[in-house]
Amino acid sequence: MPANNTFYNEILTDHNLHPLHKHKLPDANMTLEGVNPSCGDDIVLNLKVEDGKVTDGSFEGDGCAISQASADIMLDLIIGQPVEKAEHLADVFHRMITGTITDKEKEELGEAGILEDVSHMPARTKCAVLGWHTMDEMLKENS
């Protein structure tokens, strides 16, 4: 667990109980479902991408606290960013979870960096990466 377990739990709990981005997005022009069958996480990621930029995003569905918080944190980071930056952040996040990241790269992830310690819990890594993997797959399919 992280050195500051209380801080980690507060951020996860806040994003899980009060997600900013968990709602329908009627004007989304990209939608993809992501499922983690090993624990039942099921999210539908909705993005609005215009002129190569993620202008809005949301998610719907159910899952554990880690999957829900991670998706919400991810949307905080990518909304307003060019698609290339969102794809880059997804790559950095995946490498963080597999333990191959520099401190400078971790800084790019902001709050998402608190999920680094999930890499020590193999059963939970799929939960943490679900939203990121879904977003990456969606953007690559539509590029």
> How many residues are given for the chain?
143
Average of per-residue pLDDT across 71-82: 97
Q: What is the CA radius of gyration of the chain?
A: 14
Closest CA to 43 of 54, 35, 31, 51: 35
pLDDT band at 2 (very low <50, low <70, confident <90, very high): very low
pTM of this prediction exceeds 0.85: yes
pLDDT band at 5 (very low <50, low <70, confident <90, very high): low
- Can you say how many angstroms the Cα of residue 57 is from the centroid of all Cα atoms in its chain? 11
- 128 membership: H or E segment, kind and range: helix 122-141
